[in-house]
Structure formats: structure tokens, C-alpha cells
Amino acid sequence: MSEKKYEKKITCIGAGYVGGPTMAMIAAKCPQYKVTVVDINKEKIKAWQTDQLPIFEPGLLEVVKSARDRNLFFSNEIDAAIDESEIIFVSVNTPTKMFGQGAGKTADLQYWEKTARDILRVAKSDKIIVEKSTLPVRTSVAMERILNANEKGIHFEVISNPEFLAEGTAVSDLESPDRVLVGSRETPPGLKARQEIVDIFANWVPAEKIITSDTWSSELSKLVANAFLAQRISSINSISALCERTEADISMVSKAIGSDRRIGAKFLNASVGFGGSCFKKDILNLVYICEYYGLPQVAEYWENVVKINQYQEERFVQNMINTMFNTIAGKRVALFGFAFKANTGDTRESPAIFITRKLVEEQADVVITDPQALSNAKEDLADIIQKVTLEPDPYKAALGAHAIAIITEWEEYKGLDYTKIFNVMEKPAFVFDGRNILQHKQIFDIGFNVYPIGKPGLSHL
């Protein structure tokens, strides 16, 4: 297709977990648009141009390949891409701010602001700017101010289009989303820009699933959706602690309450704790906003979701230490999984990071295995890397270990030969199942002492 035949030209700034898959899906579904994804990271862009994509996401390579070099392009030429596009998605990272006002809670907007300034410097015509990154409520207003304070006579309309994809299922989440949310100002140019964005998704998403709103409600909805999801996990995890003290079984409790249609069955798996780039960050953003608007009780309510998560991670390690006769110094402990969930190599906020550090502090000899996340683990643990071993093969990781701890619910860990593993471990051999994915009675019958989450332990001792 020659350049001018494209119906729309779209650029996305930021080729990460959100920008890459989202733009690949738009390009695959809309061959009439030219979609260019740019990033300051040259290595990342290079990887998007090969079959070794920079992120592991089931089914993504096929989607990318269906559109790449047809109407999907990955480039470092940020200025050129901004210049030629009428629609610019911004999906740069917005980590939690670690300094100054709001440190540890609010989002660090320096990447977003730099992007806004790049757009301002380069743009020669009116543009629609779409927020994809998760941002604190009312950021779009600040961005609009920066952008529209130009002397070139150019008008920018800032739209909020939060991303609800979950890692590991990004492709199906993008292909058939529960909803797409598009927020804008409710002025004539705002509504016109909103419609332009709605039109993109209407190429494959049914009209009734495209929800439109004012910008602030859209921004806030993203934070609240994640806060509600994380709250379910913290709620069930808090009850798992109670189950461990009593004879109740958390899986039964989850099943019993989840079959109430008003509650629903999803996100009730007790675990070692939630991770990922969004949950903690978004809740802390919400907490900060509540504090800012003088609502300390509301802030405290949501902050407890994060506190219970931290408690769950601490409890897990404490339980390991207590069970292994109150000392793990010099004992080899194999962590099965380092990613924050299965089917991703992402380790951001993974409970594995805290658990590894705590075990190393107790002078355990930690060996980590994971099918996708070892290179990220190496970076996360850079300062203590000489004290841990990274081993792609779980059987080798278990060799000579006193304990195995399941941290990530990788399917392949369910089907390992645990008799073979038991035979090469030190005795007594322990399994701490932080995801409740193993057949505990079977594992116990092999000879392991088994400690699940939220159920009584099975011990030969």
C-alpha cells in the first residue's frame, strides 16, 4: 500500500508490554491504517523486528507477523513518526515515584512529560493524544495544559483509553475485550476526537462493548478496576491465614463463595501474593489521590489491600523458616518460578523478588528456575547475584535441595516427575506450594512434607 493510501496514521510511543501487543492487534485488525511503534530503547525495537520478540506473550508472534512490514512498523525515528501521525498513543512507563512529594505512592510522570514535550517540539499539525499508560486521575488535564500552551497554533485533544489486558493472555484480551473504555472532554472537539478512537476499535470490537465517558471517569476506572481485582486476592489471602490456623481448606472456601453468582469465581485463588506492574502501583496511586483530596479513611481502606499482600509474602517465608526447624542457613532452597504469574517472563513486583532476598538474608543457598524469567531475575537480583544460582532445568535446581517452593503457577510444574525429584533431594524434603497447584496428597505419599497455602500441612515428621 502506498503511503497516502492509508486511511489513518497512528503512532505509539513506548514499545513495552502494553504498547507492543495493543498496536500489533490494531494493525492486524485494521490493514487500512499505518501503525508505527517507536521507543527510545534501540535493542527493544530491533527485537520487535525479529521473531525473538522482546516480551514473551503466547500467540503474539503470529499477530505481529500478520501485519509487520505491511502496516505495522517498529522504529527508533520518534520525531518522524510523531510528525506524520494524526493519532499518537502514549504508552511509556509510569513507575511509582521514588523521590519528593508523593514518594512511594504517586506515579513518576517524567517519561510521560518528556513524551509530551517531544510531541510539542515536533508537531506541525493538530493531533489526538491517547493516554495508554496508567496515570493518576487528572493527568490528562496537566498534559493538555503542557501541549496546548504552544505558540504554533496547534490544537491537541487528550483522550484516555486505559488498557485492561493482562499479561499471559494479552492476545485474547485484545481480540475479545470485556470492554474498551474511551474517555474525552465532553466538548465538540473532544467528542470528535473520542469518536476517532472509537472508530479504530469498532473495526473488531462490538459496539456495545465500547464504553465512552468523560476523561476523569475513564482514568479513575482503570485504577479502581485494578484495586477491586487486587482486593479480591488480598481478601482470599487474608482468609488463607485463618484457614492455616484452623481445619478449613481455602480451596473449598473459594469454591463455596465463588459459586455465588454475585461474588463470582474469578480471582479467588489464594497465593503467595499478587505481583505485576499494575496492582500495587495503581492502588498506591488511588491512595495518594484520596489523601490529596482529604479522604484519609478511604486512603487507609485501600492501602490495606497492599499491606495484606506484603503480609502474605512475609508469612510465606516465615512459614518456610519455622517449618525447616527455624534455620535455613546453608540449606539449598529451590524456587520454582520467578515470574509474577504464569505465561509471562515479566517479574515486575513479583513476590519472588522479596522471597529470594529474605531467604538470602537468612543465608539459604537459593537456586531459581523459571522457563521465561531468568534474564529478568538476573537484573532484579543484580546486587546479590553471586549469592543465588539461576538454573533453567527444574530437575537440576532440585538436586541436593532441602526444599522446593512453588512461586509461579507454570503448567509444567504440575507434571514434573516428583518421585525423581524426591530421590535427589536432601531429607527430610519439603515442598511449599505457594500456588496450590500440586496434588498434595500424592506428593506427600512420595515422602515429601507438604505445605500448601491456606490448608493444613501434610507432615511425616
Q: Which does 430 bind (CB under 5 to 8 A by kind): ligand ADP, ligand UDX, none?
A: none
Shortest distance, CB of residue 344 to ligand ADP, whole angstroms? 11
Q: Is 277 in the site for ligand ADP (CB under 6 A)?
A: yes
Give the x/- contact pattern for ligand ADP in 93-132, rule: CB under 6 A: x-----------------x--xx-----------------
Cell 472456601 identifies what position? Answer: 253
Q: Which does 268 bind (CB under 5 to 8 A by kind): ligand UDX, ligand ADP, none?
A: ligand UDX
Shortest distance, CB of residue 169 to ligand UDX, whole angstroms? 7
Stretch touching ligand ADP by CB under 6 A, among 90-98, 185-193, 308-316, 351-359: 90-98
Give the x/- contact pattern for ligand ADP in 44-63, rule: CB under 6 A: x-------------------
Nearer to ligand ADP, 113 or 175 (CB): 113
Shortest distance, CB of residue 351 to ligand UDX, whole angstroms? 7
User: What is the maximum alpha-carbon separation in the chain?
Assistant: 77
Residue 283's nearest CA partner among 295, 270, 300 is 300
Burial (CB < 10 A; 0-12, 13-18, 19+), residue 91, is: buried
State the alpha helices, DSSP H only, in 4-109.
19-29, 42-48, 60-67, 78-84
Shortest distance, CB of residue 438 to ligand UDX, whole angstroms? 16
With b meaning 16 or more CB within 10 Å and e meaning fewer, what string describes 58-89? eebbebbeebbeebbbbbeebeebbbbbebbb
Shortest distance, CB of residue 412 to ligand UDX, whole angstroms? 16
Cβ atoms 214, 425 nearer than 8 A: no
Please report the DSSP string for 424-455 in residue order. Answer: HS-SS-EEEETT--S-HHHHHHHT-EEEESSS
Burial (CB < 10 A; 0-12, 13-18, 19+), residue 274, is: buried
Q: Is 401 in the site for ligand ADP (CB under 6 A)?
A: no
Q: Is 9 helix (H, G, I), strand (E, B) or coil?
A: strand
Q: Is 15 in the site for ligand ADP (CB under 6 A)?
A: yes
Residues 60-89 that bind ligand ADP (CB under 6 A): 78
Interface with ligand UDX by CB under 6 A: which residues?
163-167, 226, 229, 233, 267-269, 271, 274-276, 278-279, 340-341
- The total number of residues shown for the chain amounts to 461
- Distance CA(434)–CA(454), nearest Å, equals 10
Shortest distance, CB of residue 316 to ligand UDX, whole angstroms? 12
Q: Is 13 in the site for ligand ADP (CB under 6 A)?
A: yes
Q: What phi and psi, each to the nearest 5 degrees, are found at residue 158?
A: -100, 125
With CB atoms as reference, the residue minimizing the distance to ligand UDX is 276
Shortest distance, CB of residue 279 to ligand UDX, whole angstroms? 6
- Residue 104, sorted as left (phi over 0), alpha (psi -120 to 50) or beta, turns out to be left
Is residue 278 among the annotated active site residues?
yes
CA 301 to chain centre: 23
Q: Is 275 in the site for ligand ADP (CB under 6 A)?
A: no
Nearer to ligand UDX, 146 or 211 (CB): 211
Residue partners of 267: CB distance under 8 A and separation at least 6: 229, 232, 233
Side chain identity at residue 98, one-letter code: M
Residue 362's nearest CA partner among 326, 335, 402 is 326
The catalytic residue among 30, 243, 278, 290 is 278
Q: Which does 40 bind (CB under 5 to 8 A by kind): ligand UDX, ligand ADP, none?
A: ligand ADP
C-alpha distance from residue 160 to each of 146, 193, 211, 235, 289 (Å)? 16, 11, 12, 30, 18
Q: Which does 167 bind (CB under 5 to 8 A by kind): ligand UDX, ligand ADP, none?
A: ligand UDX
With CB atoms as reference, the residue minimizing the distance to ligand ADP is 16
Q: Is 371 in the site for ligand ADP (CB under 6 A)?
A: no
The catalytic site residues sit at 278
Binding site for ligand ADP (CB under 6 A): 13-19, 39-41, 44, 78, 91-93, 111, 114-115, 133, 277
